[in-house]
Chains A and B, each alone.
Chain A
């Protein structure tokens, strides 16, 4: 099995689980985790192309902190933030801290896929471009 290149971080179990199922069904290899600390550990172990990161995670490291740490460890990682309106200002902060973009919750899967495709494309390289193409095809199907 290919090493997943996408990491999704969200403390809301139902949300994370369902999102993972849906990605998996679309044959997108992704890994999920429920806290900033765990995400950071995973990133340190293996590089990920894209990290989808919820900003608001009560208890422990919050999204922005996690983002800063990831960027410190692996600066090439693209991070897409998930945010509610109350933390919109924080997302701006996140953008300044190097996040690729942000999505307003509740997200539609299509929007997330579009962003993922864009992020992968930006990374460049044949492998990433192929991945991006795959995702774009999925989007066209629906």
Chain B
């Protein structure tokens, strides 16, 4: 199987020749930026740099996927949020202390949403990657869910307080923002994406499983219907309390955090949805060595996790050797 066939088969629950390695978020590091001379922040804003840096995930690290959307701010920038672009060694972030909207009625998806520099960059990078690698490697795009964009556009605290005080207003906001999720997702499919990550940060530390069911489960079902491509839902943190709900959405995969054990997570989702991720970022990939990375990969493999990769966007100072240990371990485990 090619890398692309392997990844897509795993996302569709079909047999694979070996477990694919998949990066649904980002494996960009400062070392890889140096290797191909494509540093942040420009690699988030210029398609050629974005594509060149993203390709290293396959060409240098050996993953079966290429994911060019390193950050979580591209569409929020196009919606009008203020962005702190930072430097090579730090992530661009939305200035959430300066929200752009207060009520659902304020939401306006600009006419240039898909031609804005920061969304256009993603679309163009996907086209470049599709041309260069699209026959063999799965190109994964990313479209942010409305809960995440709610944080960005309304501010974290106001948005969470609103969700407590006024569920109807919260739902109207989610309904308004979901169109941005769909539009950007569909545009990436047209550009050549084979699958999409859909981060929607109803994270385990702030939002309960019940909240997920109340506000997001139906929306996620709707995304599956309206975005005709395998979707990989990403939510950080401890999420076993909502995995059963997530498994019912029709999403192809759930990108899950190392705060959830592979065995317990597989037990909950069973064959209803693929699991991907789980290799710990701050303590293992960033702070330890290839042996420890390999041990976590093996734990996921023996638990039957469908696609193996980091739990989230890896720290920018992660050592290349540690990231290479993920595909290397999968390869050697599959050969034994």
**Are A and B subunits of one complex?**
no
